[in-house]
Amino acid sequence: MASGSGSAQTTGTSTTFLDALSKAGIEYNTELADMYRGFLGNRPYVSSGALNSHSSEFCRLYEPDINDRSCYSEQLLQDARDYSDTAIVVISRVSGESVDCPSQQYRVHNRDGSVDVDVTRSYLELSQEEERLLRYVGKNYKHVVVVVNSTNAMELGEVETLPGVGACLLVGTPGEVGANSIASVLLGETNPSGRTTDTYAYDLRTAASYANAGSMGEGIYTNSNGLYPDDGTLNPNVGTAETYDGVRFVDYVEGIYVGYRWYETADAEGFWNDVSNEHGRGYDGVVQYPFGYGLSYTNFSWEVVSQQPGENSSVGRDSTYQATVRVTNTGGVAGKDVVELYCTPPYYRGGIEKSATELVDYAKTKVLQPGESQDVTVEFSLDDVASYDYDDANGNGFSGYELERGTYTVQLKRDAHTLADCDNASTDLWLPETVLCGADLVTGATVQNQFTGSGARQRVHRRLGLRCRHHLSHARRLQGDLPKEVRQEPRDERFHPGAQPLRLFSGRGRCPRTRGAGLAFGRHLDRLDPVLSAFRERPAHLARTHAGGGLQLGRVGCAP
C-alpha cells in the first residue's frame, strides 16, 4: 500500500516493492511472485479507492493459505527453498478517512474469491493465513524479515513468538518512491533511524479509546430526521446510492488518554501490575513497542554536556529548560540517533488530570560514522506543559491553563518508557507557586472555554435542535475506586426533545491506572474495566505471545 485512504491517496504510478528490489540489484523468486499475481488478478476496490467502498470491501485480506496446494504446490515450495535461504514477508493494512478498521476480518484465501468472515480477529491482527505463512517460513528459511506496511499500529506479537522470525521493519505507507528506501535498508546501505509514532500494544483492547472506537463508539440522534445529512443526502463514500441513516456522533471519552499518554500513565498508576503472560509481567506484558521506539544497526552512547537550569532549580512559567547531549556512535556502522526529552508535571489526586509523561522535544543527529560524536540540544518552555482545567477540578476558582505548584521532572529517554542510561538523565525542577495562565504568553490573547460550560453546551444543542440523555464518565486518576463491573449505556439510547443536553464532561472520581484529563476510564477507569477483563480472559488460541530470537539489531527497526 503506497498511501492511506481518503482524498490524500497516492494516484498514478508508484514504485512497487518488487520494482525497488530489482532496482537495488536484489533478485527475487519470480515464480512465487507470479503465483501471487495470479491468485485473484487485480485486487478489487483498489482503483475505486476507500471513498467508494465499504470497509468490509476495501479492507479485505487477500492471502492464499500456505497449505493450499492449488496455490502453493510442492514443486513451487521446493523451488522457493532452493532459490534462497531468505524470506521477506510483507504485512499490509490500510484505513483512514471514510474507512474505519473493521473489528472482524474479511478474508479471501481461495481462488474463487469467496469472502470468509473471521469474527475472532480484528483487521489489525494477523490473519490465520498470515500466521501460518510466518510459521512455515520461520521453520524453512534461515533468515526471515517481516515488513509491516500499515497505516495503523497493529498487534504484532507473532513477530516475537513465532520461531525463526529474525527482524521486523515498520515502513508505514511509502508513497510513490519510498519503496526504494526499504530496499536500501534491507541491503544495509541505509541504517534505519525512525521512531514509532504510536504505542504498539500486544492487544489493542488495552487502549483507553478501544471501547468507543469505530461503530462501537457511534451514537445516533433520534430526532435528527430532516437535518443534514439525515435529509436524504446521498453518502458519496461507499460507492453505491445510499442515504445517510442519521446524524451520528462519537463520544471521545478517553480525553487526553490517547496513545503513550494512556499506556505510560496507566503504568505509573499500577494499572498493569496484575498482568502476567507470555510477553512478560506488568507493562512488559501489555506494550510491545513504546512510543518513540526504534532500533539501529549500530549503538550509541549519550553524555549530558550541559543543562540549564540544574537539579532542584526554582522555575517560573517563562523558564526554558535546555540540555545538550553528546551522542557518540559506539558501533561499527554509520547511523543516526534520536534524543527524546519528556516532562512529568506534578499531579494531585482529585485535581487536574495530567499525563504521567509528555514528549516536549526531540533532536536527530546527522549520520555519525563509527566513533564520531555530535552535540544536540533539546529544550522546552515550562509553559508548554501547562494543564487545561476546563471544570476547575482543583477548586481554585479558575478554569483554563494552569501550572500547578510542585516538582516538574524532566527526563532524557530512549522512548516514552525507557530512561536514558547516562548520568543526569533525570532532573527535578521546582515551581514554588501555582501559575494561572489566563493569557497566551506570545499573543496576549485571553484563553477561555469554547466548548464546555453550561452556556456553550446549550447553544450547541439548541442550534442543532437535538437532545440527549447520555451521560459520560471521563477518566480520572485516583487510587482505589475502579468498579468491578461496568454497565455501558446502550448505543441506541438516543436523544429526544425534553431530555437533558449532552454532558461533554462529567465524573468526579479517580482511579488507579492513568494520568490525563477526561476519559471514560483514564483516572476514572470505570469503562476500561470490561475492556481489560476481556483482554485478560482472551482465549488461549487468540493469545498473542512473546518468544525470542532476532537479528543483530534486535526485534524491530523503523524506516528512516
Q: What is the model's pLDDT at position 222?
A: 79
For 519-543, write each residue's pLDDT tens digit.
Answer: 222 233 333 333 333 333 333 222 2
CA nearest neighbour of 334 among 374, 377, 302, 361:
374
Q: What is the model's pLDDT at position 209?
A: 86
Identify the H or E element spanning 306.
strand 300-308
With H, G, I as helix, E, B as strand and everything else as coil, classify residue 169: strand
- Give 246 or 439, the one with higher predicted confidence: 439
C-alpha distance from residue 364 to each of 190, 194, 291 (Å): 16, 10, 16
For 385-442, write each residue's pLDDT tens digit.
Answer: 999 998 899 999 999 999 999 999 999 999 999 999 999 999 999 999 999 999 999 9
Q: What is the model's pLDDT at position 69?
A: 95
Q: What is the model's pLDDT at position 2?
A: 56
C-alpha distance from residue 231 to each of 228, 235, 399 (Å): 5, 11, 39
Q: How far apart are CA 362 and CA 193, in angstroms?
A: 13
**pTM of the predicted structure, to 2 decimals:** 0.81
- Give 3 or 406, the one with higher predicted confidence: 406
- Give 181 or 550, the one with higher predicted confidence: 181
- Give 130 or 488, the one with higher predicted confidence: 130
Q: Check if the beta carbon of residue 54 is closer than 8 Å to that of residue 98.
A: no
Backbone angles phi, psi at 340, to 5 degrees: -115, 140
Q: 358 has which bridge partners?
A: 343
Q: How far apart are CA 138 and CA 305, in angstroms?
A: 45
Q: How far apart are CA 442 and CA 439, in angstroms?
A: 9
- Give 327 or 151, the one with higher predicted confidence: 327
C-alpha cell at 313: 532549580
- Give 417 or 101, the one with higher predicted confidence: 417
Is a pLDDT exceeding 60 seen at residue 361?
A: yes
CA nearest neighbour of 339 among 313, 319, 368:
368
Identify the H or E element spanning 183.
helix 179-187
Q: What is the model's pLDDT at position 207?
A: 92
Backbone angles phi, psi at 210, to 5 degrees: -60, -40
Q: How far apart are CA 525 and CA 184, in angstroms?
A: 45
CA nearest neighbour of 406 among 344, 334, 329:
344
For 256-289, write each residue's pLDDT tens digit.
Answer: 999 999 999 999 999 999 999 999 999 999 999 9
Q: How far apart are CA 194 and CA 327, in angstroms?
A: 16
Lowest mean pLDDT among 81-95, 100-114, 141-155: 100-114
Among 1.10.645.10, 2.60.40.10, 3.40.50.1000, 3.40.50.620, what is the CATH number of 292-437?
Answer: 2.60.40.10
Write down the domain spans for the chain: 17-190, 292-437
Find the length of the chain. Answer: 560
For 59-81, write each residue's pLDDT tens digit.
Answer: 899 999 999 999 999 999 999 99
- Give 367 or 4, the one with higher predicted confidence: 367
Q: Which CATH fold topology does 17-190 show?
A: Rossmann fold (3.40.50)
- Give 238 or 476, the one with higher predicted confidence: 238
